[in-house]
Structure 1
């Protein structure tokens, strides 16, 4: 689904023209968050490719673009999906995770640390071992998302009322854009959200980490993003003055921040 991308197009009418990717730049692998598909990255991808980056986007299982039974979906499957996406890469990649995508990229770094140059957390959860999305979201007292969640244990998914969710996800966007964002909200498999992640200092802890903090976020609150970066050492902390979905309201600016975070290669395979 490309609805989030359509919302970005309302704000930015002209798309940048892609050029050939530079062999000297790390591949950027973009991983969406909960209630999203890979379409949220379309405008960011266009800018990164214009600037010479090779980009891959990942649709995690259990949503349009990668259908799977809810009963078969797990955090391990999310990690394996990312591993499959980067299996052919000759150099370590930059894994970019938005929101709950922070869990997915962290799991991949734990499984295959040598394949990851940098973990980049965009308005994302930066977990410690033993954390789950449920425990972290519950600890975030500044988040306005929790009252909007509907948990369907029988069918194995969480959902958000589209219009209410869009008003929180894209809180800094005009109403017309929020309406488009609402059409892109999908159900989220429940099991990965409640699964504690296992991370070790020798594997996950060895991988370079950067955060892009969103200064008007109502989903992963800005103070909570600050606290997470204090709990887990990161090389660089960047900021962007948006709500939770900068790929909608400031896609070109977000792409530039991602480029700042990438830096030179630090690993070889």
Structure 2
């Protein structure tokens, strides 16, 4: 199984890489990996999705999943003709990457799922979310009466299940920047499954974080088995926040993937 511990050399041809954050987070969570990839000569974007990170909109101003994902879709649409990007989705960011691959497959060189939801083409778009075997959300707060239904990942949930191997200063950063978000389950259910000839045809790479306590390895493997992937990579000592617990290793994988698929 291929692996790498450092970004590709800066002499490699520059690749376009778009890093997509997960629920409650923002582009800020990619700061270590983005820095490493840029130092290696790649063109890197880490957009804040709607009502996330530094995006000032409240969640109610992003009522649909497409509204939420639009900053990613807009970034792809803005690419020069003929240029493609490697999309990297973390956690719930995998759903936004899947949507982008469905709507703009010609702009996607590869879809990379870093311990992320990776939907298949056979069932409802939300099946991977609804089947997640996570029973204890601890101090997280949900509000089904909110429009859209909201979730706020609690500080103990983050510390114990997502950031347990990440540096303490990164957990502290999350406490300053975490925001209310949504999984948009009801909205996504209104759409048909992702299509085999669009999303399904895009090259996919899954990066397994073996120490993830929220999206456990067994479930990551279950998603991998549900749809063809070009490649599977493993990070032995990464928690859910792989970009913070093992940034050099993850940046190495992403640089190698970009050099392979673009």
Q: State TM-score, norm by structure 2.
A: 0.84
**Partner of 1:205 in structure 2?**
200
1:84 is the counterpart of 2:74: yes
Of residues 159, 162, 171, the one that matches 1:166 is: 159
1:230 aligns with 2:229: no
3-state secondary structure, aligned to 2:50: coil
1:34 counterpart (23, 30, 34):
23
The one-character-per-residue Cα deviations of 1:94-125 (angstroms, maximum 9, x if unpaired) are 00000000000100100010000000000101
Q: Which residue of 2 aligns with 1:152?
A: 143
- Deviation at residue 221 of structure 1 after TM alignment: 1.0
**Aligned residues, how many?**
246
Aligned equivalents of 1:145 and 1:29: distance in 2?
A: 32
Any idea what SS the aligned residue of 1:96 has? Answer: strand
Q: Where do 1:124-203 residues align within 5 Å?
A: 124-129=116-121, 130-133=123-126, 135-141=127-133, 143=134, 146-156=137-147, 157-173=150-166, 177-191=170-184, 195-196=188-189, 198-203=193-198
By how many angstroms is 1:137 displaced? Answer: 3.8
Secondary structure of residue in 2 paired with 1:158: strand
In 2, distance between residues paired with 1:118 and 1:213? 16
Relative to structure 1, the CA distance from residue 139 to residue 101 in structure 2 (aligned partners, 3 Å threshold; closer, same or farther) is same
How high is the TM-score relative to the length of structure 1? 0.82
Q: CA RMSD in A?
A: 2.5
Q: CA offsets, 1:192-224, max 9 Å, x none? A: 676236310110111000011000001211110
Give the conservation status (yes or no) of the 8 Å contact 1:172–1:243.
yes
- Aligned residue among 14, 17, 22 for 1:25: 14
- Check the 8 A contact 2:211/2:239 in 1, yes or no: yes
Q: 1:173, CA displacement in angstroms?
A: 3.1
CA distance in 2, matches of 1:144, 1:254: 28
Q: Answer with 42-51 or 176-185: which moved more.
A: 176-185
